[in-house]
Chain A
Amino acid sequence: MSNNQSGESGTLSAVALGPFALTALVYVATVRADLLGHPWPGTAEAGLPSLLLAHLSAYIVTVVASYVTLIPYSRLNRSIYGPTGSRSIREWLALASVVASQGLAIVIQHSTYAEMLRTFALFRTPNWAVGVTLAIPVWYIARMRTVSVLRMTQAFFYLQILALPVLFLPLGEWRVSNLVGLLGRPSLAVLPALPPVLHLYFGAPALLLLDNKASVTVARRLIPAALALVALVLVLITVFVPGVLGRELLAIEAYPGMKYFQTTRIPNVERNDLVILFAFANVAISASAVLGHGIALALGAVGLGKEAAAVAVAILVAASTFIPMIPGGSQLYFVASAIALIVTNVFLLIIPKARTHE
């Protein structure tokens, strides 16, 4: 059974990536639903300069890494997804780290998103019901062809555009004076808050693992768009929310991102935070489907079967909703995620030496 995607015509390189399709794909790979749960308490302790400095460093590293690993990614795709008889240890490790990092990104997203759903909206719905509701669409989409996943991201992106104005409504409460307490000297207190948002920076590289035929040309178009989007999201994170809530309120709330949306009310809607929370349901599903599709391709390449891989991804999504129940679970997977993402990129840097299958 040939499970790799080399024989399919519905690949990224076969699809004309227009500006809209490109934006949609980049959006789901970069902006994940757990972004709403950005942990600001560390930020309130360290101040905005620390947050900006930390993100700026990560951003520069990502820009450099994205371009340095552009060709290695292309080779990696051919190497690990392509028809191969035997793989080197290096290739096996790269494959394993890809699966692990994509899988952990899914775990982080769904555990955080499910926790927010339970906290703000579905107080009485049991974990398994939330998990199954999110897992079924992910399973359904992850087993599709790449081109179908791409079309799905576009369809979901339309819904996101509809919810976009809600993002700007709370700015009526924005005050420069709220930033007064946040403009101290940079300190390292912000570091514990960073691992959960690290994968934001790896959205662009993750896209390149989607397809064994994703050419360097496609990659060159994807990466700048993704990096621009990351920059935009960071402006929203560091300017909008602290300017509305202020230092002291940032420090005492676990989900200031959700509180940001609660600060305003649309007539007849009452709770804007729920509009955003449910608008992000399709982000959670489509981002996990894109990541899950990558895993399905990777596992398909080693003969596990795409269907089986999609089921595994769905189980992962459902199981993620139970992670916040495990004592200390959140810290553990944040650290694991950071390690997996760093390891993946280290492997990518050494891949040029690996055998290619042109």
Chain B
Amino acid sequence: MRKLLPQLLVLVLLCTTLAGCWDLRPIENLAMFLMLAFDLAPNGTDLIITATYPTFGMGASSPIRTVGITAGDLSHGLRLLQTDEDKITVAGKVIVYVLGESVWRSGRITELARQAYVRPDLSLTGFVVCAQGNASEIPPLKPPDENVVAIALWERLGKLQREGLVPRVNLLQVARLGQMQKDLWIPLIKPVKELSDLLYAGSVAFSRGQPAVVLDVRETADLTSLSGLAPFNHLQSKQQGGTPVSGVFSTVKTKVKRNEEPDGGLAIDVTSSFGLRLSTPVDFSVGSLIDTKQKASIIEADMTGRGQKILDKLRAADSDPLGLSVVSPFAGVAKARDTRDRYQFATIRYRAKVKVMGVGSV
């Protein structure tokens, strides 16, 4: 007993010092932010931060609560939110960061993402989306499928990303912008106040951290197909005077070759190989093989045209989300910078190669 008593005392001391005793907080007392929306204040420097969090407990009148403040920077804003709220604010659960048009057009997205990056508690894996108009209009929305807007947006973006229709962009990728790598293109959403809902509106392509060009829904889908993000992508091409040809792409392999032109310019040859499953009605006649090849060539020509168009549009805006100007790091920093600087004036030649992997309904 004489030996046991000190050991028991030590055990009790150990239990009382365990972390939960101090850091435990009842969930009803927490304001767990799920979405942070950012706009620029009218003075052009301060940030308007709007946060939304779910409310718990019997006394909660609404499933979500939205709060907003104006602050000099993100850390200052989160401190102010803590001061204003009765509850203890928790910023580690943010799943979506929404950038208002004033923020992404000002080119301050990297600065903002880095302010979030240096905070130990903010999630780097939260989705980043750009918004048309004010981002502060989004947190109060109550979409019909899910009354917590952050979760609704997160689920919709996840679904679109799985289908390869939009790029997946998180806070880490935005914080890394500006380094010599691929440019980003970030999904764009549009709040519809009348419906209390959100619409997916395409994407914003950036050039070295600055917004370069806005792509519509179809252009964004074309770009995801080129980049290999899309695990499968439907395409329908219209035969001149004939029936539409449609199919599903299953594999994409893109090869990039950079050449020096005789006139000193840069030429970039891009070749994408697509595996295609034609979803046209099956014809077992002798001529069906020829027909299949013809259909594949129609889609090939269509893909080449669309790819060339989107790449030319991005090049003209000096945006390089596919990393066509990114050279091997072993080539050296000077070479990498030089190639990136010449990208805007380069000649891009795009060619799609389509190989029919199968025929039948999909």
Residue numbers in B under 8 Å from A259 (CB-CB) = 117, 124
Q: Is the CB of A177 within 8 A of B17?
A: no
CB distance from B350 to the nearest CB of A (A): 22
Q: Is the CB of B329 within 8 A of A177?
A: yes
Residue numbers in B under 8 Å from A265 (CB-CB) = 123, 125
Q: Is the CB of B14 within 8 A of A133?
A: yes
Q: Is the CB of A177 within 8 A of B93?
A: no
Q: B181 in the interface, Cβ–Cβ < 8 Å?
A: yes
Among B121, B172, B329, point to the contact of A263 (Cβ < 8 A).
B172
CA distance A119 to B332 in the complex (A): 37
Q: B323 in the interface, Cβ–Cβ < 8 Å?
A: yes
Query: Which of A28-36, A124-132, A298-306 is found at the contact surface with chain B?
Result: A124-132
Q: A64 in the interface, Cβ–Cβ < 8 Å?
A: no
Q: Is the CB of A247 within 8 A of B13?
A: no
Question: When A125-B22, A181-B180, A270-B93 are in contact, do A120 and B326 touch as well, CB less than 8 Å?
Answer: no
CA distance A259 to B19 in the complex (A): 22
Q: A16 in the interface, Cβ–Cβ < 8 Å?
A: no
Among B124, B181, B328, point to the contact of A175 (Cβ < 8 A).
B181
Q: Is the CB of B176 within 8 A of A178?
A: yes
Mark each residue of chain B from 1 to 41: 1 if its CB lies under 8 Å from any CB of chain A, else 0. Answer: 00000000010011001110111000000000000000000
Residue numbers in B under 8 Å from A123 (CB-CB) = 23
Mark each residue of chain A from 151 to 189: 1 if its CB lies under 8 Å from any CB of chain B, else 0. Answer: 000000000000000000000010111111101100000
CA distance A183 to B23 in the complex (A): 42
Among A122, A132, A184, A252, point to the contact of B117 (Cβ < 8 A).
A252
Within 164-212 of B, Cβ neighbours of A (below 8 Å) are at 172-173, 175-176, 178-182
CA distance A187 to B345 in the complex (A): 36
Q: Is the CB of A183 within 8 A of B92?
A: no
Among A122, A180, A253, point to the contact of B181 (Cβ < 8 A).
A180
Q: Is the CB of A262 within 8 A of B22?
A: no
Among A124, A140, A180, point to the contact of B22 (Cβ < 8 A).
A124
Q: Is the CB of B176 within 8 A of A126?
A: no
Q: Is the CB of B18 within 8 A of A180?
A: no
Q: B234 in the interface, Cβ–Cβ < 8 Å?
A: no
Residue numbers in A under 8 Å from B22 (CB-CB) = 122, 124-126, 129
CA distance A132 to B18 in the complex (A): 9
Q: B120 in the interface, Cβ–Cβ < 8 Å?
A: yes
Residue numbers in A under 8 Å from B118 (CB-CB) = 252-253
CA distance A265 to B330 in the complex (A): 31
Among B13, B120, B326, B330, point to the contact of A136 (Cβ < 8 A).
B13
Within 72-122 of B, Cβ neighbours of A (below 8 Å) are at 92-93, 114, 117-118, 120-121
Residue numbers in B under 8 Å from A124 (CB-CB) = 22-23
CA distance A270 to B18 in the complex (A): 22
Q: B333 in the interface, Cβ–Cβ < 8 Å?
A: yes
Q: Is the CB of A249 within 8 A of B181?
A: no
Among B14, B330, B333, point to the contact of A181 (Cβ < 8 A).
B333
Question: When A125-B23, A262-B124 are in contact, do A180 and B117 touch as well, CB less than 8 Å?
Answer: no
Within 107-145 of A, Cβ neighbours of B (below 8 Å) are at 119-126, 129-130, 132-133, 136, 140
CA distance A165 to B176 in the complex (A): 25
Question: When A184-B333, A264-B125 are in contact, do A120 and B120 touch as well, CB less than 8 Å?
Answer: yes
CA distance A125 to B21 in the complex (A): 8
CA distance A245 to B124 in the complex (A): 11
Report which residue of A120, A175, A247 has the largest number of chain B beta carbons within 10 angstroms of its beta carbon. Answer: A175
Residue numbers in B under 8 Å from A245 (CB-CB) = 176
Residue numbers in A under 8 Å from B317 (CB-CB) = none
Q: B336 in the interface, Cβ–Cβ < 8 Å?
A: yes
Residue numbers in A under 8 Å from B117 (CB-CB) = 249, 252-253, 259
CB distance from B12 to the nearest CB of A (A): 11
Q: Is the CB of A246 within 8 A of B19?
A: no
Q: A206 in the interface, Cβ–Cβ < 8 Å?
A: no
CA distance A133 to B92 in the complex (A): 25
CB distance from B62 to the nearest CB of A (A): 25
Q: Is the CB of B13 within 8 A of A177?
A: no
Question: When A120-B120, A177-B323, A178-B176 are in contact, do A132 and B181 touch as well, CB less than 8 Å?
Answer: no
Q: A87 in the interface, Cβ–Cβ < 8 Å?
A: no
Within 252-272 of A, Cβ neighbours of B (below 8 Å) are at 252-253, 255, 258-259, 262-265, 270-271
Q: A8 in the interface, Cβ–Cβ < 8 Å?
A: no
Q: Is the CB of A180 within 8 A of B180?
A: yes
CA distance A250 to B124 in the complex (A): 15
Report which residue of B10, B19, B118, B336 has the largest number of chain A beta carbons within 10 angstroms of its beta carbon. Answer: B19
Q: Which residue of B lies closest to A265 (CB)?
A: B125
Q: Which residue of B lies closest to A129 (CB)?
A: B17
CA distance A246 to B323 in the complex (A): 16
Mark each residue of chain B from 311 to 333: 1 if its CB lies under 8 Å from any CB of chain A, else 0. Answer: 00000000000010010111011
Mark each residue of chain A from 220 to 264: 1 if its CB lies under 8 Å from any CB of chain B, else 0. Answer: 000000000000000000000000011111001101001100111
Question: When A245-B176, A252-B114, A263-B125 are in contact, do A177 and B182 touch as well, CB less than 8 Å?
Answer: yes
CA distance A88 to B137 in the complex (A): 79
Residue numbers in A under 8 Å from B114 (CB-CB) = 249, 252
Q: Is the CB of B18 within 8 A of A133?
A: yes
Within 307-338 of A, Cβ neighbours of B (below 8 Å) are at none
Question: When A132-B17, A133-B14, A263-B125 are in contact, do A271 and B92 touch as well, CB less than 8 Å?
Answer: yes
Q: Is the CB of B125 within 8 A of A262?
A: yes
Among B21, B125, B175, B328, point to the contact of A249 (Cβ < 8 A).
B175
For this complex, 5 residue pairs linking A to B, each with C-beta atoms less than 8 Å apart, are: A132-B13, A176-B329, A177-B323, A246-B176, A252-B117
On B, residues with C-beta under 8 Å from A are 10, 13-14, 17-19, 21-23, 92-93, 114, 117-118, 120-121, 123-125, 172-173, 175-176, 178-182, 323, 326, 328-330, 332-333, 336
Closest 4 CB pairs of A and B: A177-B181, A125-B22, A265-B125, A129-B17
